[in-house]
Chain A
């Protein structure tokens, strides 16, 4: 059956959560990048500022004159940070006194101890400039000294490109991890749904009890609806079973009348033509009654297998009861039945009515297909784990073309839809065995004559 489906919940969850994860990853990676770049910027700024400050601190007044004495360490600290080129400029009283006098200092700090930073181009390269201001006084006047130290940005760019690489890697790793978690989360989110469908799928074909699995509140309405449907379906099925039983019942009495009257007519008529017709009527009536019985049995078996009640069943006694029941029928066909029971008492757990029905059907088939004056052999044996009840006849056996199909259909426990006659009989057998975790074996006997059907049941 094809069901119209929209996108699966899992796929939808995965898709939507992955988009969220992707956005978060980008945001995360961007944050890492910004933080990294800021950190790199701050690092460079701090080194530039401390270089500038150390130079500014070294400016002093000596016998009324200002002395600029750049400390050796001022530039080596810049050299330690990166291979970047270094420029500087010192202004006193608004006039460049040393260094790179064309260094474009655009931003002059407003207050002492508050370095200003700017980025610009100089000598064909991007540079970062830090400037500090220091008030100086000589005997003659008070002036301000501005010390600016600049550095090209290749080290900074190297760091930031490293940061970008790391940010990208972190973003990708974050995304990959998130997607894995999303997949797991989606899986666990839909697990209750799968559990419910598995629980429903595992059921027997006619098990219509309500679903009792614990389910999350979100899918409770679905399960409730499903249970309601089950109840309705169960009622409908019960009605149809009642109907089948009723129909079979209703057919039986008129059929009995047909058969009895036909037999009377056969006994009383002299016309050869009529006799042939009447014989055919009787044959048809017999076949019909057999089918009706099997249909009714099938319905009963279906009901009982769905509500299987196990009890200890003594296998030998069960076989003997079935034999007792069928012995008269066998006898009237001139068929002998021999039973080789095992020495020990075999016990299996199951529904004796169903097991009787199964064995009865197998035996009924064997009798039906056995020629006159032959023997049907019933045997039972056990290897401790399994009980095997075999029914072997001396008939023609199953047609070779059919036997594999039959074996396939029944030994694998799949339902045989739409089979009548011996097929329906075997369907009943098969249904009973599936319900009892048993197996049905169908083969032609080794001698090439006759069929051997075995019922295999687990010991209790």
Chain B
């Protein structure tokens, strides 16, 4: 996905970008409203992350001008201010959601997913691998027309494996994916969810291979 990050704290901006890139996203980061407007004129973004306190104005100003010209780009406001007082006003100004600093990336991801799901409407966003169609937003697998939904932890694991089929994913990496969502984080937990995924993939030509002592790999069986 392509993100526009509008954040005036240089260090935080860099860290968030780095973190998003780690998940395979593309990030343009700017530090004021002027730069953001410039970027928005030239590029279309899947998601705009907007800080409210900016050196040349309030984040609401950008939001309002965006909505005034009927730009429906999804916007999640990131703020350090009180959620209670600012939230309604921010939503009224046209934001799609609202996240308060500091946040766990997992929450940001969950909110992005929810916003995109809402924005997308009926349009599908499916990726196929083997005989499996994976809808990342809905978290559903479709195997030869038969649909199965993935629970959250299963989804997170499957996403990691699905994004790089044939590559070995270390157990600790996978564990971190779970952990980021508040799981207790024992190695056993990874084994439990891998087991569940294997059951749901039983009718497909995808297979999760265990590489003893190192991790797991998603293979396509021909």
Residue of A nearest to B80 (CB): A252
**10 residue pairs, one from A and one from B, having the closest CB atoms:** A256-B102, A252-B80, A334-B152, A328-B110, A256-B101, A332-B110, A260-B15, A255-B102, A252-B101, A259-B102
B176→A297 contact, CB < 8 A = no
Beta-carbon contact of B11 and A264 below 8 Å: no
- Contacts A332-B181, A332-B182, A372-B153; is A297 near B83 (CB within 8 Å)? yes
B130-166 vs A, CB cutoff 8 Å, 1 = contact: the mask equals: 0000000000000000000001110000000000000
Docked CA distance A439–B100 (Å): 29
Question: Across the interface, do A293 and B100 meet the contact criterion of CB distance under 8 Å?
Answer: yes
Contact with A along B177-188 (1 / 0, CB 8 A): 001111101000
Question: Which of the candidate stretches B16-24, B38-46, B65-73 sits at the interface with the other chain?
Answer: B16-24
**B110 to A275, Cβ gap below 8 A?**
no
Within 8 A of B (CB), among A354-405: 356-357, 372-373
Task: Determine whether the beta carbon of A331 is less than 8 Å from that of B152.
Answer: yes
A266 engages B105 (CB within 8 Å): no
Cα–Cα, bound, A332→B109 (Å)? 9
| Contact indicator A258/B102 (Cβ below 8 Å) | yes
Q: Is the CB of A266 within 8 A of B103?
A: no
Among B16, B97, B109, B153, contact of A260 (Cβ-Cβ < 8 Å): B16
B residues whose Cβ falls under 8 Å from a Cβ of A? 9, 11-12, 15-16, 18-19, 22, 80-85, 87-88, 97-98, 100-107, 109-111, 113-114, 151-153, 172-173, 176, 179-183, 185
**Minimum CB–CB distance for B111 against chain A, Å:** 5
Instruction: Check B15–A264 contact: CB distance below 8 A.
Output: yes
Name the residue in A264, A279, A288 with the highest tally of chain B Cβ atoms < 10 Å from its Cβ: A264
Does A189 lie at the interface of the complex (its beta carbon under 8 Å from any beta carbon of B)?
Answer: no
**For residue B15, which residues in chain A have a CB less than 8 angstroms away from its CB?**
257, 260-261, 264
23 sample A-B contacts, Cβ–Cβ < 8 Å, listed by A number: A255-B101, A256-B12, A256-B102, A257-B11, A261-B15, A264-B15, A267-B19, A267-B22, A282-B104, A285-B102, A286-B102, A286-B104, A289-B101, A289-B103, A297-B83, A300-B84, A301-B84, A325-B98, A328-B97, A333-B182, A334-B153, A372-B182, A373-B151
Q: Within residues 43 to 64 of chain A, which ones have a CB less than 8 A from any CB in chain B?
A: none
Nearest chain B CB to A455's CB is how many angstroms away?
17
- Asked if A313 is at the interface (CB within 8 A of a chain B CB), the reply is no
Size of interface on A: residues with Cβ below 8 Å to B:
43
Q: Are B84 and A332 in contact (CB under 8 A)?
A: no
Set A257, A275, A328, A356: member contacting B113, Cβ < 8 A? A328
Q: Which of A206-262 contact B (CB under 8 A)?
A: 245, 248-249, 252-253, 255-261
In the complex where A300-B82, A301-B84 touch, is A333 in contact with B102 (Cβ < 8 A)?
Answer: no
Kindly list 18 other residue pairs between chains A and B, CB separation below 8 angstroms, not including A253-B12, A259-B102, A328-B114: A252-B80, A252-B101, A252-B102, A253-B101, A260-B16, A260-B19, A264-B15, A264-B19, A267-B19, A279-B185, A288-B102, A296-B82, A328-B110, A332-B109, A333-B181, A334-B181, A353-B84, A353-B88
Q: Is the interface of A mostly helix, strand, loop or mixed?
A: helix
Is A166 interfacial (CB-CB < 8 Å)? no
Whether B107 pairs with A332 at a CB distance below 8 angstroms is yes
Enumerate chain A residues within 8 angstroms of B18, measured Cβ to Cβ: 264
For the residues of B in contact with A, the DSSP-based class is: helix
Q: In the complex the two chains form, what is the Cα distance from A289 to B103 in whole Å? A: 8
| A288 contact set on B, CB distance < 8 A | 102
Complex Cα gap A257–B9 (Å): 9
Return B183 CB to nearest CB of chain A, in Å: 7
- Find chain B residues with CB under 8 A from A357 CB: 84
> Is A279 in contact with B179, judged by CB distance below 8 angstroms?
yes
- Report the separation of the CA atoms of residues A367 and B193 in the bound assembly, to the nearest whole angstrom: 21
Option from A245, A272, A333 in Cβ contact (under 8 Å) with B172: A272
Q: Given that A264-B15, A264-B22 are known contacts, is A300 also in contact with B85, CB under 8 Å in the complex? A: yes
Contact indicator B151/A334 (Cβ below 8 Å) = yes
Asked if A407 is an interface residue, CB under 8 A from chain B, the answer is: no
Chain B residues closer than 8 Å to A268, beta-carbon distance: 22
A267 touching B84, Cβ below 8 Å: no
Q: Closest approach, in angstroms, between the C-beta of B84 and any C-beta of chain A?
A: 5
Whether B84 and A289, one on each chain, are in contact in the complex, defined by CB atoms closer than 8 angstroms, is no
Residues of A within 8 A of B173 (CB): 267
Within the assembled complex, what's the spacing in Å between the Cα atoms of A185 and B22? 82
Q: Which residues of chain A from 267 to 307 have any CB-CB distance to chain B below 8 Å in the complex? A: 267-268, 272, 275, 279, 282, 285-286, 288-289, 293, 296-297, 300-301
Q: How far in angstroms is the closest Cβ of chain B from A331?
A: 6
Distance to closest chain A CB from B155 (angstroms): 9
Query: How many Å lie between the Cα of A342 and that of B155 in the bound state?
Result: 33
A373 vs B18: C-alpha distance in the bound complex, in angstroms?
Answer: 31
**A329 interface contact, C-beta 8 A:** yes
| A327 interface contact, C-beta 8 A | yes
A263 at the binding interface (Cβ < 8 Å): yes
Q: Are B152 and A328 in contact (CB under 8 A)?
A: no
Minimal beta-carbon separation of A376 from chain B (angstroms)? 14
CB-CB under 8 A for A293 and B12, given A256-B103, A332-B152: no
Given A249-B81, A301-B84, A333-B152: A328 touches B180 (CB 8 Å cut-off): no
Question: Nearest Cβ in chain A — how far from B44, in angstroms?
Answer: 24
Query: Which residue, A261, A332, A353, has most C-beta atoms of chain B within 10 A?
Result: A332
**B181 contacts across to A, CB distance below 8 A:** 332-334
What separation, in Å, do the CA atoms of A125 and B98 have in the docked complex? 113
Complex contacts, A373 vs chain B, CB 8 Å: 151
A253-B12, A272-B172, A328-B113 known; A259+B103 contact, CB < 8 A: yes
Tell me the minimal C-beta distance from B164 to chain A in angstroms: 14
Which residue among A245, A257, A279, A356 has the maximum number of chain B CB atoms within 10 Å of its CB? Answer: A257
Q: With A279-B185, A285-B102 in contact, is A263–B19 under 8 Å at CB?
A: yes
Interface residues of A in 131-154 (CB under 8 A from B): none
Question: Chain A: which residue is nearest B184 at the CB level?
Answer: A372
CB distance from A368 to the nearest CB of B (A): 9
- A307 CB to closest chain B CB (Å) equals 13
Chain A stretch 320-351: residues in CB contact (< 8 A) with chain B: 325, 327-329, 331-334
Contacting residues, chain A, for B180 (C-beta < 8 A): 263
Nearest neighbor of A296 in chain B, beta-carbon distance: B82
